[in-house]
Structure 1
Amino acid sequence: MPRTTSTRPRFATRALLLQLATVTLVVALCTGVYLLLTLQQLRAEAESTALGIARTLAEDPQVRAEVARISLAEGALDAEELRDGELQRLASEVTARTGALFVVITDDNGIRLAHPTPSRIGEEVSTPYEAVLAGAEVVDWQTGTLGESARAKVPVRDAAGSPVGEISVGFERAGVFDDLPPLLAMIAGTAAGALALAVLAFHLLRRRWERLTLGVQPEELVALVQNQTAVLDGVDDGVLAVDTRGVVRVSNAAADRLLGLDEPVGRSIDELGLAPAVLDAATGDRTRSSAIVGDRMLYLDSRPVVRDGQALGDVLIVRDRTDLVALTERLETVRTMTAALRVQRHEFANRMHVAAGLIDADRVPQARAFLGELVERGPVAFPVVGLDLVGDPFLHSFLGAKGVEAAERGVALRIAEDTQLIGTVQEAEDVAAVLGNLIDNAVTAALSGQRAPRWVEVALLDDGDALVFTVSDSGPGLGLGLGGIEPSPAQPREGTTDDDVHGHGIGLPLSTEIARRTGGDLWVIDQGGADSGAVFAARIGGAVARTSPDEKENT
C-alpha cells in the first residue's frame, strides 16, 4: 500500500510530543511537591532549632536566677547596666555560636533584658508575649523589629516554677533557605535528566516500533487491516501466509476449506499435516505446482514477500481447479464425439459415393446388397471388437470413437462378452467423463507395458438405474501404488500430477468425485501384476433409464 501523503505530523512525532508533554508535566508536579516538602522541612528544622536553643537557654540556672532577680526588683530598670550585664553577654554568645538572627531575653513585663541591638534594651518587645508569660511555648513565623523570622518563645521560670520572663530565639528567612539554591539546582538537573531519558527511551521505542511494523504508521496499519479483511474475505481463492520461521500468520476461510485446516494461524506449517506438494509450495521450495487434497484438484502459486530488502516470508495462493478440470474432461468427451461424428460423416459420404457409382454402372443388385450391408452394420465400422453388444446409441458411438483413438496409438479396444445393457444412458456427461478417463488411463498403461498385443477391455452392466462398468488392460498393473490385493477405493497420490500412468494425478480423483456425487463409487478390483494388468470398476448412479423389451424391440 502506498505511503500516506497527509501533511499531519507522523505518529512518531505526535507520540514524542505527547510523551515529552507528559514527562514535563510529571516532572513539574514532582518538582512542585518536592519543593513544598523541602520548604516545610526547612521551616520545621528552623523552628525546631530555635525551640531547642530557647529551651536550653531558659533552663540555664544563671539565666533563671538573673531574670527572676530583675523581675522581682522594684523600680525602673537600668538600661545601661543591662547592656553590660550578664544576660546580654550570654545572649550575644549564643547568637554568635548558633548563627541565630537574635536571642532576646525579657522580664515578666515583656521588657527586653538582652537584645542584638543594645539600644533597644529596656524597651518592650514588638511581638505578643502574654501567652508565653502564661506558661506556654510559642513557635511561629513572626515579623518584628529585625524582620520576618522563624522564632521560638519559651518562658523562664523561677525556683518555684512560675514564669518570670521569656527567651525568644529567631532565625531569619534568608538563613533558613540557604540550602534551597543547591536543592533547586539538583531538582533542575534531575528534571533535565528525566526529560533526556524520556527522549532517548522514545527514540529507542520508535526504532523498535518501525522495525516491527516495517515503517508503517498506525493509520496505515488500520487501512492495511481493512484492505486485508476486504481482500481475504472477498475472494474465492485461498490465501496462506507463512513467515520466515514457518509460522502461519494469515489464512482466510477459503484456504481453511480447501486445505482442510482448523484455526492454523499462529501454528507451525509443519504441524498442519499438509500434503508434501502443499508444504513445499507454502515454504517457497516450489513456486508453482498442483496437488490433490481430498477430492479437490488445487493449483498452488507461491510468492515470496519482501519489503525494503527484508524477507518476510511466503504467500501461498490456493485455487480450486476441480470444476475447471471436470469441465475440461467433459469438453474432451465432446471433442471425442465430434471426431467420431466427423469420421462417420466422412465414411458415410465415401460409401454413398460407392453406392452411387454402382447405380450409375447399372449394377443395381450389387448396389442393393451394399446398401443392405450398410444398414445392417452401420455407417462406420469402428475398430472395436464386440461393439455390437452395446445397444445404447450414445455408448456405441462413444466407445467407437475411443476405439478409433486407441487404434491410432496401437492399442485394441474391445467389449467384454458378458456385457449386457438393457436401458439407455441418460447421464451422458457423467458416464463419458468417468468411462472416458478410465479408458484413456488404460490405453496409457497398455502402452507402458511390454506385453503384446496391447489391449483394453470394457464390460458394461446396468443395475437398476445405475451403470456399472469395468476397464482392464494389458499393462504392468499398479504395483504397490494403491493398496493391497483386496478390492480397494481408488485413492489419488498426494503431491503433484507428474505421473500420467493410470490417472494417479487429476483424472482419477475427478472421476471418483463424479461417481460418488451420483451415489456410486470408483474402485480397484485387481491391481494387476506380472501376468495381467489392472482392473478398475465404477458405478454411476441414476445414469440408466430402464426400457422394456418391447420398447427396445421397437427402437
Structure 2
Amino acid sequence: MQRSARRPPLRFSTQTLLLQLAVVLLVVLLSAAVHAWLTYDRVGSEAENQALTLARTVASDPSVRADVLAISEEEGTPPQSELAAGPLMQEAEAARSRTGALFVVITDETGLRLAHPDPQRLGEKVSTDPSEALAGREVTTRNTGTLGPSAGAKVPVYAPGSTTVVGEVSVGYSMETVAQSVARDIGPVAVTAAGALLAGVLGSFLLRRRLQRLTLGLEPEEISTLVHDQVAVLQGVDDGVVGISADGRITVFNAAAQRLLSLPDLAGTRWEDAPVPDQLKSLTRPGHAGTGALEIVAGGRVLVANARKALHRREDLGWVVMLRDRTELQELTRQLDAVGTMSTALRAQRHEFANQLHTLAGFMSIGQHQQAREYLAQLAATGPLKFPVDQAELLQDPYLQAFVGAKGVEADERGVALRVGPETLVRGHVTEAQDVTTVLGNLIDNAVNAAVAGTSADRWVEVEVLDEPGDDGGTLHVVVADSGDGLADGTDAEAVFAEGFTTATGPVRAGGGQGFGLALARQLARRRGGDVKVLAPGTRGGPGAVFMATLPHTTAGSSAAKTPGTIRKDNDG
C-alpha cells in the first residue's frame, strides 16, 4: 500500500498572514455584533418608552376609565359582538392606528380582554401575565404574544376619582419593526466593518512582504540555525572576516579580524569611517572592487585581503572582506631559505673537509709531523666551515652569527659582499629571535637588492650590531648600509616605509616581496617600543642609504655595550 505524500507545512510568513487575517476578521465581527446588539437594545428601549407613553395616555383617558369601571361593575363579561362595537374598542383601535403600535389591549380587573386588534380574542384572558399592572405598577415588557414578538408596556386603569384598579392597558410595538430599524442603522456599521476588514487584509499582506524581505524568505528555524552556524564559523576560524551591509555599515567583525588588525569590535561602525587601512576600504569602492587579493601591512603583520560581493537571490547584501595572516608564512619561508642556503654551503664544504683530511693523512704517511701540526692549527683557527662574511667573528651570539652567515651566502650568490662592521659588539644573546630575524632580515634583503640594482661596480652591504643592557632586557641596535644608489632625489625619508615602496630599479630576487619589508620592520620595531629610520639617504653611485633599527627587550645577559658607531661609507670598506 503506497503511503500518501505528507503535505509540507505552511511557511511562517503564510501562517502569520492567516493569523493576522483571522484576528482582523474576529475583531471586525465582534465589533459589528456588539454595535448591532447595542443598537437593537437602544431601539427596543425606545419602543418600550413609546409604548409606556401611549399606555399611560389611553389609561388616563376619563372615558376609558369610566367605560372600564362600568363593565367591571356588571355581572359577567359582555359578549364579543358588544365589545367589538363598544367605545373601548374604538378608543384602542384609534390609538393603535394613530401611533403604528402592534396592539393596544384594554382588560378588566381580572385580565379579560375588553379591546383587542383581533375581535375573536375579545373576552379571553390575555396571553401575558397582567398581575403587575393590576397590582397598580407600570411595567415594560419584551415577550411574544398572540400577535408575535413585541416590546411593550402595561399600565393600570384606575376608577374615576379613585385609586382602585379596575383594569389595565397593554401596548406593544412589533420587534420586527425594531429589527428593521436596526437593519437600517446597521448599514453604515457594515460598510465601516467591511472597510476595516479590507484595510486589515491589505496591512497583513504588506506586513507579510516586509517580513519576507527582512528574513530573506527564511523560516525561523532556518534563521536560528544560521545564527548558530555563523557564531561557530566566524569565531572558530583563524581568518579575519569583516561583513559590510549594503548601506555601508560593518555588521560582522570577528575575533580573528580584531586580532589581525589590532582593533576592537567595530560592528555598527560605518565602513568609510572605520580605523582600518585605506587599502582595505579600496577593495569595496567602485572601480576597484573585486580586483583580487591585496597584500597590506597592519598591526605589525603582513595580511592578504580580498573582498567578495554578497548576494542572495539577486538581492545585494553588501561585502565580505577576508583577511589571512602571511607573517608567519613569510618568516618560515625566510628561515627555510636560510637553512637551505646553509645546507648548500655545508655540502660544498664537505668536499673541502674531505680534501683536508686527505692532506693530513699524506703528511702523516710521509712523516711530516710538524707540517701536520701546523695544518691542524690552521684548521682549528678557521673552522671547517667559513661563511663568506667579512669579520663574522665579531658576532659572538651564535644565532646572529648563523643568520648573518646564511644571509652572506645568499648575498654572495648574487655578487654582493656582506660584511660585519668593525664597531659591532654583542655581549648578550638574542631572546626574541623571530622579531630580530624579521627586522634584520628585511633590512639586509633590502640592502642587497639596492646593491644589486645600484650603479657601483663594488657591491657590498655592511651590518653593525650592538646591544645595550637593560633591567627588563637589552636593546639591540642594528645599522645597515649598502653600495646602492640611495634614495631618489626629493624622496621623503618617511615615504620609504609606506607599503609598496621600493628603491630597487634593477632586477631583484624573485619572490622577494618588494614594498613590504621596511613597512613590516618598522611596525614590528615600534610594537616593541623601538623604531626603524633612515640615517642617511645616500648618493647615486654609492654609498647608498643607511638604515638604523632599535629593538628593545630582545637580548639578555649583556654586561656592557657601546654607542652605535659611524659606518664607513667608502667603497673600499
Q: Above 0.5 in TM-score?
A: yes
- Provide Cα deviations, 1:277-335, integer angstroms capped at 9, x if missing partner: 12223554543112211222222132211122222111112222322222223223323
Q: Give the C-alpha shift of residue 140 in structure 1.
A: 1.0
* Equivalent pair of 1:50/1:151 in contact (CA under 8 Å): yes
- Provide Cα deviations, 1:147-192, integer angstroms capped at 9, x if missing partner: 5532212234566464554332112343443346667888777766
What is residue 13 of structure 2 aligned with on the other side? 12
Change (3 A) 1:446 1:357: same
- From 410, 420, 424, the equivalent of 1:405 is 410
Instruction: Work out the CA distance in 2 between the residues paired with 1:8 and 1:213.
Output: 18
Deviates more, 1:199-208 or 1:340-349: 340-349
RMSD of aligned Cα (Å): 4.4
Deviates more, 1:180-189 or 1:225-234: 180-189
* Equivalent pair of 1:424/1:547 in contact (CA under 8 Å): no
What is residue 552 of structure 1 aligned with on the other side? none
* Equivalent pair of 1:240/1:282 in contact (CA under 8 Å): no
Change (3 A) 1:260 1:158: farther
Change (3 A) 1:527 1:179: farther
What is residue 66 of structure 2 aligned with on the other side? 68
* Equivalent pair of 1:431/1:540 in contact (CA under 8 Å): no
Change (3 A) 1:9 1:69: closer
* Equivalent pair of 1:301/1:316 in contact (CA under 8 Å): yes
What is residue 227 of structure 2 aligned with on the other side? 225
Change (3 A) 1:543 1:42: same
What is residue 553 of structure 1 aligned with on the other side? none
Deviates more, 1:73-82 or 1:303-312: 73-82
Instruction: Work out the CA distance in 2 between the residues paired with 1:480 and 1:248.
Output: 35
Change (3 A) 1:15 1:336: same
Change (3 A) 1:498 1:218: farther
* Equivalent pair of 1:105/1:166 in contact (CA under 8 Å): yes
- From 434, 440, 464, the equivalent of 1:459 is 464
Give the unaligned 5+ runs of structure 2.
1-5, 505-511, 561-573
Identity %: 43
Instruction: Work out the CA distance in 1 between the residues paired with 2:404 and 2:66.
Output: 146
1:271 to 2:273 alignment: yes
Instruction: Work out the CA distance in 1 between the residues paired with 2:191 and 2:114.
Output: 49
* Equivalent pair of 2:283/2:290 in contact (CA under 8 Å): yes
Change (3 A) 1:391 1:350: farther
- Provide Cα deviations, 1:484-529, integer angstroms capped at 9, x if missing partner: xxxxxxx953xx5564769885444655677688x78443261425
Change (3 A) 1:282 1:234: farther
What is residue 250 of structure 1 aligned with on the other side? 252
Instruction: Work out the CA distance in 2 between the residues paired with 1:173 and 1:525.
Output: 108
Instruction: Work out the CA distance in 1 between the residues paired with 2:360 and 2:503.
Output: 45
TM-score of the aligned structures, taking structure 1 as reference length: 0.78
Q: Give the C-alpha shift of residue 225 in structure 1.
A: 1.1
1:335 to 2:331 alignment: no
What is residue 240 of structure 1 aligned with on the other side? 242
SS at match of 1:178: helix
* Equivalent pair of 1:11/1:217 in contact (CA under 8 Å): yes
- Provide Cα deviations, 1:450-490, integer angstroms capped at 9, x if missing partner: 5664432212334456654321234424942428xxxxxxx
What is residue 548 of structure 2 aligned with on the other side? 536
1:293 to 2:298 alignment: yes
Q: Mapping of 1:348-363 within 5 angstroms?
A: none
TM-score of the aligned structures, taking structure 2 as reference length: 0.76
Deviates more, 1:355-364 or 1:206-215: 355-364
Size of the alignment, in residue pairs? 531
> Letter of the aligned partner of 2:494 in structure 1?
L
1:102 to 2:113 alignment: no
Instruction: Work out the CA distance in 1 between the residues paired with 2:169 and 2:380.
Output: 152
Instruction: Work out the CA distance in 2 between the residues paired with 1:460 and 1:90.
Output: 136
Give the unaligned 5+ runs of structure 1.
484-490, 549-555
1:43 to 2:44 alignment: yes
Instruction: Work out the CA distance in 2 between the residues paired with 1:214 and 1:437.
Output: 50
Instruction: Work out the CA distance in 1 between the residues paired with 2:123 and 2:218.
Output: 85
Deviates more, 1:297-306 or 1:165-174: 165-174
Instruction: Work out the CA distance in 1 between the residues paired with 2:436 and 2:57.
Output: 122
What is residue 304 of structure 1 aligned with on the other side? 309
Deviates more, 1:82-91 or 1:274-283: 82-91
What is residue 478 of structure 2 aligned with on the other side? 469
Instruction: Work out the CA distance in 2 between the residues paired with 1:142 and 1:154.
Output: 16
> Letter of the aligned partner of 1:482 in structure 2?
E
Q: Mapping of 1:345-384 within 5 angstroms?
A: 345=350, 384=389
1:116 to 2:117 alignment: yes
